[in-house]
């Protein structure tokens, strides 16, 4: 169930967030936590948008939906992290329409779906027939998909919601009841997304440690099992703890990651960063190296922040240091996320992923991709068929709004690149287990 205030985020809450962000004192933090919990405990399930809601403005979507998205797991996540996320959305009045406000393929899908739940709950949106309601949902999803061409999760969310709608319409004939059912299902999708991330972390840590400790990664059987037992994440068979069965202290592993794939890119916990988080929970992580991820610096701004906030040992490096780190820092695995995994096992991800895969292949470091099955696109044959989004010039030539590149220089700024499946040597870590690239085409999704 989605829990939200009847009103948009209170002005007093925003003011508290802003004040706490600037002063960051304990008393402000406590007041902020109390106010957030007060809103959460109202248990009002009707989702409404602001009175002057404009359905053509994604800004209005993201304001309320980001509030809903993070309010439910504020107790588990850092209040400071929540404050940063909300500010990132509320301070967008003067920004150009091409500015990224919600990023991370899973988060884009969830905020998109939640935004439609917001509109469905708006009392001004009434529908005479079931067909009108379905057309409305489909049209809004199609509009939101234009915001990010490369990531596939939003398209999968559309398919899931419309499939649920078509199932419900067989037994539910009231338009009002269908609206409630769709809103509830979108809330369930949010819960499942976090659960899937936790499973990715569990399966990924198990597989990486098995390989690191001298075993071999066991691919999933059709994506349903990683061959490591049903309870490996809890029983210790995933390499958990500091000591082995014979009392020998187990080695700790250093890993390298790219971009941001944690709580700030998903509904919670994270994909690739979720695997790193799980390694840390097991006491088996020595160091997590994160690239700054130029030109948008998601690694420096977000991943580094999450590592520090969670107390996970981390080291920030520039993108150009990655190969040197693999050579000099005993990197045991490279773990990245994915915006899309296609039928032949090729992976589209943040620009810079391909060069990491090439370097990892040279140094014989396992290269792993962590992605929920919602990131799989079996309708696309190969990476060459993926539309790669290109970002504005200013993101490349300026830092914090100050131009650093020579005026007049040309730019090429793709947001993603495609890594061939044969370079994904450590497999694709899903919520169901490990899938090798050559097995993707046979998955039943």
Q: Which residues are catalytic?
A: 339
Alpha carbon distance 40, 43 (integer Å): 6
Nearest to 182 by CA among 142, 143, 140: 140
> What's the helix, strand, coil split of the chain in %, to 5?
45, 10, 40
What DSSP state is assigned to residue 437? G
Alpha carbons within 13 A on the beta-carbon side of 295: 21
Nearest to 139 by CA among 119, 111, 122, 121: 119
* β strands within 3-125, DSSP E: none
Alpha carbon distance 218, 14 (integer Å): 48
Beta strands at 428-430 and 347-350: parallel, antiparallel or unpaired: unpaired
355 in Cβ contact with 191 (< 8 Å)? no
Burial state string for 102-133 with b = 16 or more CB within 10 A and e = fewer than 16: bbbbbbbbbbbbbbbbbbbbbeeeebeebeeb
What DSSP state is assigned to residue 252? P
118 in Cβ contact with 65 (< 8 Å)? yes
Nearest to 381 by CA among 351, 353, 417, 345: 345
């Amino acid at each position: 169930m989605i829990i939200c205030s009847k009103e948009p985020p209170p002005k007093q809450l925003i003011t508290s967030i802003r004040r706490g962000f600037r002063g960051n004192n304990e008393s402000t933090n406590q007041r902020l936590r109390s106010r957030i919990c007060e809103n959460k405990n109202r248990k009002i399930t009707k989702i409404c948008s602001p009175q002057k809601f404009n359905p053509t403005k994604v800004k209005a979507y993201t304001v309320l939906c980001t509030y809903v998205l993070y309010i439910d797991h504020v107790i588990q996540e850092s209040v400071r992290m929540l404050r940063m996320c909300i500010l990132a959305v509320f301070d967008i009045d003067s920004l150009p329409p091409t500015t990224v406000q919600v990023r991370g393929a899973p988060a884009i899908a969830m905020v998109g779906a939640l935004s439609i739940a917001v509109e469905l709950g708006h009392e001004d949106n009434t529908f005479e027939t079931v067909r009108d309601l379905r057309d409305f949902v489909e049209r809004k999803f199609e509009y939101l998909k234009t915001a990010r061409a490369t990531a596939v999760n939003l398209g999968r969310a559309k398919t899931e919601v419309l499939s649920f709608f078509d199932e419900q319409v067989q037994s539910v004939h009231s338009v009002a009841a269908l609206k409630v059912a769709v809103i509830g299902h979108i809330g369930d999708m949010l819960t499942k997304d976090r659960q899937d991330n936790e499973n990715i972390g569990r399966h990924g840590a198990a597989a990486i440690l098995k390989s690191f400790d001298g075993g071999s990664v066991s691919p999933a059987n059709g994506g349903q099992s990683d061959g490591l037992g049903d309870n490996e994440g809890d029983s210790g068979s995933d390499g958990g703890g500091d000591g082995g069965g014979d009392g020998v202290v187990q080695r700790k592993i250093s890993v390298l990651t790219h971009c941001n794939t944690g709580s700030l890119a998903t509904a919670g916990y994270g994909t690739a960063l979720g695997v790193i988080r799980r390694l840390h929970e097991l006491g088996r992580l020595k160091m997590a190296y994160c690239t700054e991820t130029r030109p948008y610096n998601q690694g420096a701004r977000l991943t580094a922040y999450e590592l520090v906030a969670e107390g996970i040992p981390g080291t920030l490096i520039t993108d150009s240091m990655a190969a040197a780190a693999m050579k000099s820092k005993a990197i045991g695995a490279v773990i990245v996320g994915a915006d899309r995994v296609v039928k032949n096992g090729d992976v589209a991800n943040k620009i810079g992923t391909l060069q990491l895969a090439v370097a990892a292949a040279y140094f014989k470091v396992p290269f792993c991709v962590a992605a929920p099955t919602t990131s799989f696109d079996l309708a696309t044959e190969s990476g060459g068929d993926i539309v790669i989004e290109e970002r504005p010039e200013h993101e490349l030539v300026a830092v914090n709004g100050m131009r650093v590149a020579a005026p007049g220089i040309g730019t090429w700024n793709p947001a993603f690149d495609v890594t061939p499946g044969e370079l994904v040597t450590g497999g694709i870590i899903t919520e169901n287990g490990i899938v090798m690239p050559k097995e993707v085409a046979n998955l039943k999704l």
